[in-house]
């Protein structure tokens, strides 16, 4: 990871769970990390923790709504002025709402598409343009996908979410191909975890917190730090090695 020391990473959805774990890990490895989310307070607390732990990098909190394009464009402009640009973009922000295909609300479907697909694509485009204008040829774009981007589970509450994650699988491979056509050595990777113990199920099942808690108690889940370690592994690969996708599940997870 030494070649990333002092360089700039953007981590979306950095206020909780996987995003917070990734941001913390990259700061530990000496990177300048812009952590964005709608909830700034959590990122500010995490930034203070990083300082008191004596980590060699810095966490810079930035308030941004990943469903609003103007917010994202303003964020990239701000990063350009303050920190020159983005060398690593980690598209972690994502959400699942319990909106089945036969009875779900269109607004819920749209929210999932806005954040999981459009927001990710806007950040990818802007990160690439930032790298290109500064002649950065070794950048990296990492999409935090899901096992739901590779198989459909018999659970009506997550079918639309699953479709949004299948889109991430296609977008990551499409991105890899376009980067090849652009004759750049910028890399594209997605990381597809199964069940990770975060706030995710509590948000999905906010009407039924007992069911959410039971989801995580049923097996020994992955932890957010496991995904952060996968990000470090991907970034640490030699520059000629591109890791396309890491699928990771808890050993005890069947589906």
Residues taking part in catalysis:
161
Q: Is 5 helix (H, G, I), strand (E, B) or coil?
A: coil
Report the C-alpha gap between 64 and 52 in whole angstroms.
25
Are residues 218 and 195 in contact, defined by beta-carbon separation less than 8 angstroms? no
The DSSP element (H or E) to which 117 belongs, if any, is: none
User: Hey, is 242 helix, strand or coil?
Assistant: coil
**Distance between terminal CA atoms of the chain?**
33
Task: Quote the CA–CA distance of 78 and 208 in Å, as a whole number.
Answer: 40
**Three-state secondary structure call for residue 11:** strand
C-alpha dihedral (185, 190, 191, 194), degrees to nearest 10: -170
Residue indicated by tokens 């952590």: 35
Cα distance between residue 129 and residue 132, in whole Å: 5
Q: How far apart are CA 164 and CA 6, in angstroms?
A: 34
CB 143 within 8 A of CB 149: no
Helix (H) or strand (E) holding 61: strand 58-63
The 88-91 sheet, strands edge to edge: 58-63, 32-37, 8-12, 88-91, 140-144, 187-193, 245-248
């Amino acid at each position: 990871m030494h070649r990333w020391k002092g360089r700039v990473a953007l981590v979306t959805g950095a206020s909780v769970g996987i995003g917070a774990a990734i941001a913390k890990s990259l700061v530990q490895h000496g990177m300048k990390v812009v952590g964005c989310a709608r909830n700034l307070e959590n990122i500010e607390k995490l930034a203070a923790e990083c300082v008191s732990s004596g980590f060699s990098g810095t966490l810079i909190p930035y308030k941004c709504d990943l469903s609003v394009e103007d917010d994202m464009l303003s964020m990239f402009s701000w990063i350009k002025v303050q920190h020159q640009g983005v060398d690593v973009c980690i598209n972690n922000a994502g959400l699942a709402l319990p909106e089945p295909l036969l009875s779900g609300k269109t607004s819920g479907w749209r929210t999932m598409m806005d954040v999981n697909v459009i927001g990710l694509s806007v950040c990818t485009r802007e990160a690439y343009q930032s790298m290109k204008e500064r002649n950065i040829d070794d950048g990296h774009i990492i999409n935090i996908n899901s096992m739901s981007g590779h198989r459909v589970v018999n659970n009506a509450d997550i079918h639309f979410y699953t479709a949004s994650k299948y889109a991430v699988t296609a977008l990551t491979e499409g991105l890899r191909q376009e980067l090849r056509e652009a004759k750049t050595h910028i890399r594209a990777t997605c990381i597809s975890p199964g069940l990770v113990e975060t706030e995710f199920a509590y948000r999905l099942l906010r009407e039924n917190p007992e069911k959410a808690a039971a989801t995580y108690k049923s097996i020994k889940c992955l932890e957010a730090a496991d995904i952060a370690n996968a990000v470090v592994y991907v970034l640490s690969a030699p520059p000629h090695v591109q890791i396309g996708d890491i699928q990771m599940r808890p050993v005890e997870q069947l589906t």
